[in-house]
Structure 1
Amino acid sequence: MTMKRIEIMDTTLRDGEQTSSVSFSASEKLTIAKLLLEELKVDRIEIASARVSEGELEAVKAVTHWASQHAYLDKVEVLTFVDKGVSIDWMLEAGSKVQNLLTKGSLNHLTHQLKRTPDQHFKEIEQVIAIAQNKDIVTNVYLEDWSNGMRNSKAYVFEFLEFLSTQPIERIMLPDTLGVLTPAESYAFVKEIKSKYPDIHFDFHAHNDYDLGVSNAMEALKAGADGLHLTVNGMGERAGNAPMASTIAVINDFLPEIQVDVNEKMLYTVSKLVENFSGVMIPANKPIIGANVFTQTAGIHADGDNKKNLYFSDLLPERFGRTRKYALGKSSGKANIQKNLQELGLQLNDEDLKKVTQRIIELGDKKQVVTKEDLPYIISDVLDSYAYEEKVKVNSYVLTHSKGLRPSTTVSITIEDKTYEENAQGDGQFDAFMNAIRAVYKKQKTNLPELIDYAVRIPPGSHSDALCETIITWKLDLKEFKTRGLDSDQTVSAIKATEKMLNIITN
Structure 2
Amino acid sequence: MDTTLRDGEQTSGVSFSPSEKLTIARLLLTEVKVDRIEIASARVSEGELAAVKAITGWAAEQGLLHKVEVLTFVDGDVSIKWMKEAGAKVMNLLTKGSLNHLTHQLKKQPAQHFAEVAAVIALANKNGLECNVYLEDWSNGMRHSSEYVFQYLDFLKDQPVKRIMLPDTLGVLIPSEVYAYVSTIVQRYPGIHFDFHAHNDYDLGTANVLEGIKAGAHGIHLTINGMGERAGNAPLASAVAVLNDFLPEVKTAVVEASLYSVSKLVETFSGFRIPVNKPVVGENVFTQTAGIHADGDKKNKLYFSDLMPERFGRQRLYALGKTSGKANIENNLQQLGIQLSEPDLKKVTQRIIELGDRKEVVTQADLPYIISDILDSNTISEKVRIEDYVLTHARNMKPSATLKISIQDELFEEHAQGDGQYDAFMNALKKVYKKQQQELPTLTDYAVRIPPGGKTDALCETIITWSHGNKEFKTRGLDSDQTVSAIKATQKMLNLI
Compute the TM-score of the two structures, normalised by the length of structure 1.
0.76
1:194-215 CA-partner distances (Å, limit 9, x unpaired)? 0111121000000001111111
For residue 447 of structure 1, what is the aligned residue in structure 2? Answer: none
- State the partner residue of 1:12: 4
Indicate the SS of the match to 1:112.
helix
**CA deviation map 1:211-238 (0-9, x unaligned):** 1111111101000000000000000000
Give how far 1:489 is off: 6.4
Q: 1:191 is aligned with what amino acid?
A: S
Q: Deviations over 1:309-363 (max 9, x none)?
A: 0000000000011000000111121110111111111111111111111111111
Look up the match of 2:275. 283
- The structure 1 residue matched to 2:257, chosen from 259, 265, 272, is 265
- In structure 2, stretches of 5+ residues that fail to align are 380-440, 448-459, 464-475, 482-497
* 1:144 and 2:136 are equivalent in the alignment: yes
Residues 187 and 223 in structure 1, CA contact (< 8 A), matched pair in contact too: yes
CA deviations 1:64-117 (Å, max 9, x no partner) are 000000011000000000011210110000000000000000011111111111
1:303 and 2:299 matched: no
Equivalent residue in structure 1 for 2:317, among 300, 303, 325 = 325
In structure 2, what is the equivalent of residue 465 of structure 1?
461
- The separation in 2 between residues aligned to 1:245 and 1:300, in whole angstroms, is 28
SS in 2 for 1:336: helix
Please state how far the C-alpha of 1:386 moved relative to its aligned partner: 12
CA distance in 2, matches of 1:488, 1:96: 52
For these two proteins, the number of residue pairs brought into alignment is 395
1:155 alignment counterpart = 147
User: In structure 2, which of residues 232, 238, 258 is the aligned counterpart of residue 240 of structure 1?
Assistant: 232
Match in the other structure for 1:72: 64
Amino acid at match of 2:299: K
1:181 paired to 2:180 = no
Aligned to 2:93, the other structure's residue is in SS state: strand
Q: Match for residue 493 of structure 2? A: none
What do residues 466-491 of structure 1 show as CA deviations (whole Å, max 9, x unaligned)? 79xxxxxxxxxxxxxxxxxx995699
Residue 48 of structure 2 is aligned to residue 52 of structure 1: no
| 1:80–1:101 Cα contact (<8 Å) kept | yes
Contact 1:232 1:245 in 2 (8 A): yes
**What do residues 34-92 of structure 1 show as CA deviations (whole Å, max 9, x unaligned)?**
01001100000000000001110000000000000001100000000001121011000
Deviations 1:158-195 (A, max 9, x none): 01001110011100000000000010000000000001
| Equivalent residue letter for 1:34 | R
Q: Summarize the alignment of residues 83-232 of structure 1 with structure 2, pairs less than 5 Å apart.
A: 83-232=75-224
Answering whether residue 33 of structure 2 is matched by residue 37 of structure 1, we say no
Distance 2:140 2:355 in 1: 53
State the distance in 2 between where 1:147 and 1:167 align.
Answer: 22
Output the amino acid matched with 1:238: R
**RMSD of Structure 2 on Structure 1 (CA):** 2.1
Q: Which amino acid in 2 is paired with 1:166? A: D
Q: Distance in 2 between matches of 1:227 and 1:307?
A: 42
**CA pair 118-462 structure 1, distance change in 2 beyond 3 A:** closer
What amino acid does structure 2 have at the position aligned with 1:141?
Answer: V
For CA contacts below 8 A with separation 6 or more, give which structure has more relative contact order. Answer: 1
The aligned residue for residue 355 of structure 1 is: 347
Alignment deviations for residues 129-186 of structure 1 (CA, whole Å, 9 cap, x no partner): 1111111100000000000000111111001001110011100000000000010000
In the alignment, which residue of structure 2 is the partner of 1:314? 306
Task: Give the direction of change, closer, same or farther, for the CA distance of 1:487–1:259 in structure 2 (3 Å limit).
Answer: closer
| Matched-pair contact (CA < 8 Å) for 1:369–1:466 | no
Q: Structure 2 length as normaliser, TM-score?
A: 0.77
Query: Is contact 1:302-1:336 (8 Å) kept?
Result: yes
Task: Work out whether residues 182 and 212 of structure 2, in 8 Å CA contact, stay in contact via their aligned partners in 1.
Answer: yes
Q: Match of 2:43, as an amino acid?
A: R
- The answer to whether the 8 A contact 2:372-2:378 is kept is no
Asked if 2 retains the 8 angstrom alpha-carbon contact of 1:187 and 1:219, the reply is yes
| 2:291–2:325 contact (8 Å) kept in structure 1 | yes
Flag the structure with larger Rg: 1
Q: 1:366 to 1:462 in 2, by over 3 A?
A: farther
Give the match for residue 400 of structure 2: none
What are the residue-to-residue correspondences of 1:342-381 with 2, within 5 Å?
342-381=334-373
- Distance in 1 of aligned mates of 2:63 and 2:361: 48
1:61 and 2:57 correspond? no
SS in 1 for 2:69: strand
User: How many angstroms apart in 1 are the aligned matches of 2:237 and 2:12?
Assistant: 21
Using the TM superposition, give the Cα deviation of residue 280 of structure 1 relative to its aligned residue in structure 2, in angstroms.
0.6
In structure 2, distance between residues paired with 1:259 and 1:354: 49
SS at match of 1:258: coil
Provide the residue aligned with 1:439 in structure 2: none
Contact 1:143 1:175 in 2 (8 A): yes
What's the CA shift for 1:465? 3.4
Matched-pair contact (CA < 8 Å) for 2:2–2:222: yes
Query: What secondary structure, in the 3-state scheme, does the structure 1 residue paired with 2:461 have?
Result: coil
Secondary structure of the residue that 2:72 maps to in structure 1? Answer: strand
What CA distance in whole angstroms lies between the structure 1 residues aligned with 2:152 and 2:339? 70
SS in 1 for 2:231: coil
For 2:253, what is the secondary structure of its paired residue?
Answer: coil
CA distance in 1 between counterparts of 2:378 and 2:3 reads 59
2:75 maps to amino acid: D
Structure 1 partner of 2:426 = none
CA offsets 1:385-411 (integer angstroms, 9 cap, x no match): 899xxxxxxxxxxxxxxxxxxxxxxxx
Contact preservation (8 Å) 1:368, 1:466: no
Partner of 1:259, secondary structure, is coil
